[in-house]
Amino acid sequence: MAVSVPFDEQYLEDLMEGAGIDALLATTKHNVQHLLGGYRFFFFAHADATGVSRYLPAVGIVRGKLDDSFYIGAGNEDWGTAGGAIWVSDIQNISWTSIDTARAAAAALEKRGLARATIGVEKSFIPADALDTLRELLPEATFVEVHPVLESLRGVKSERELELVRTASHGIIDSMQASFGLVQPGMTKHDIAEIFRLEQTKRGLFYEYALVTLGGGSMNRSPSSDVWRSGTSLSIDSGGMYEGYIGDLSRMAIDTEPTARQTDLLAQIETVQQEARTAVAAGKRGGDIFVTALDTISKLPDGANMKFVAHGMGLITHEVPRLTSTGPVPYFGAHANDPLKSGMVLSIESWFEDHDSGFIKLEDTLIVTDDGWEAPGDSARGWNRTGASL
C-alpha cells in the first residue's frame, strides 16, 4: 500500500524554487524524520558514532519530482525500513560511514541528471568528509545552505506532530508533579534531576535535560552537588521529547508555605505569561508577543528584574518562528513581522532572579490555533508542595 507524503508538496517546491535549489539533501536526524513522516532508525535514534565514522542518513528530494526522491540508510537499516512506512521508493541501506553516504548520494544525483545542479545541504551538520566527497564527485554542482527551506517546511505542524507535542508536554508536567511528591530538602540537584529523569522515562519520554535551580544564591541551573534547603524555592525546567518532538515547560515547588514575597513574585510571572497569550493566534503578528509581554512587565512592581522570551519549537528548540533578535540565543528575529500560522508551536517563558527569593519561572508550550492558542500541560502553575509536606 502506498504511503502518503507527510508534508505540503507544493510548499516545499515553492521554498526550493525561491531559494534557487534544484535538489536537497537532508542529513540531520530531525529533518530526515520530518521528511519521512516520523521515521527514525531505532538503532541510531540518539547516537551517531559507529566503527570508524558515523551514522549519516540522507533524504534526497528533486524539486518538482517527488518520484525521484531517495533515501540512504545504514548497512543494517533494513531492520528499520522493512516495515514499509516510508513513502520514498528508492531506499539504499548501504552506508557504514559518512563517505559511503556521500558517494551514494552523488551517484543518485548524477543518475537523475543533477551533476551540474544547485544542491541544498545542511552545512552546519553535514560532516566535512561527506561534503568534500560530494564536491569531488560532483565538481560542477553548486552546494548551498538548505536550512531555511527545511525549517520553514517544519514550521507548521501536522495534526500527527501536534499530538506528539501534546504527549510530550503532558508527560513533562506529570513527571514534574510526581517528582515534586518525591523530593525533599537535603537532596542535591543531582538527586532531584535523577528523580525527574526516572519519572520522564516511566512515561515514555526521552530525557534531554532538567534545569534545576534552588532558592537564592547561585542561579546556575545545571545539576550539581548543591543541596536544597527547606523553605527555599525549587524550579525544574525541562525540554523532554516524545518520539523526537519537544515539550518545554517550567514549574515551581517548595516544601513549606511560600512567603508572601514568593507568592507575589510568582503571581507577577503568571500575569506576564497570561498577557503574552493574548497576542497569540493565527494571523497575528508574531513580534507582538514580545510587545505585549514587555509592556506588561514594565507596569509590574518587580518588572525591572524580570526577563521574557518566546521562541518556536518542534523537533528542535528555537526553530521557526524566530520572533526576536535580542533573545538569549543570538539569532536574527526573521519572523517578527510575519503573521503566526495555525499549527506553529511556541515556548513562552518569564522568570525572575533574586538572591533572596530565588529563581522563579514559568514556561509554557503553546500551539497556535485559528482563534488563539492551546496550552498542553497547562497545570501545576502555582507553588507546588513537595514530598516533605505531603
Domain boundaries, the chain: 9-154, 159-389
Overall size of the chain counted in residues: 390
Task: Collect all residues with Cβ–Cβ distance below 8 Å to 249 and sequence separation of at least 6.
Answer: 169, 172, 173, 176, 237, 238, 363, 364, 365, 377
Indicate if the pLDDT at residue 127 is higher than 80: yes
Same fold, 9-154 and 159-389: no
What is the second-level CATH architecture of the domain 9-154? 3-Layer(aba) Sandwich (3.40)
- Its CATH class, for the domain covering 159-389, is alpha beta
Indicate if the pLDDT at residue 389 is higher than 50: no
Indicate if the pLDDT at residue 218 is higher than 80: no
Are 122 and 150 contacting, i.e. CB atoms less than 8 angstroms apart?
yes
pLDDT at res. 2: 67
Which range among 45-54, 195-204, 214-223, 242-251 shows the weakest confidence by mean pLDDT?
214-223
> For 293-333, how does the pLDDT look when each residue is reduced to its tens digit (9 = 90+)?
999 999 999 999 999 999 999 999 899 999 999 888 888 99
Once rounded to an integer, what is the mean pLDDT over residues 262-285?
A: 98
d(CA 150, CA 15): 9
Could you tell me the pTM of the whole model? 0.94
Q: DSSP string spanning 37-103? A: TS---GGGSS--EETTEE---EEEEETTEEEEEEEEEETTTHHHHTT---S-SEEEEEESSHHHHHH
> For 184-203, how does the pLDDT look when each residue is reduced to its tens digit (9 = 90+)?
999 999 999 999 999 999 99
- Quote the percentage of the chain above a pLDDT of 90: 89
pLDDT at res. 83: 83
pLDDT at res. 84: 76
Indicate if the pLDDT at residue 1 is higher than 60: no
Are 42 and 99 contacting, i.e. CB atoms less than 8 angstroms apart?
no
Once rounded to an integer, what is the mean pLDDT over residues 38-54?
A: 93
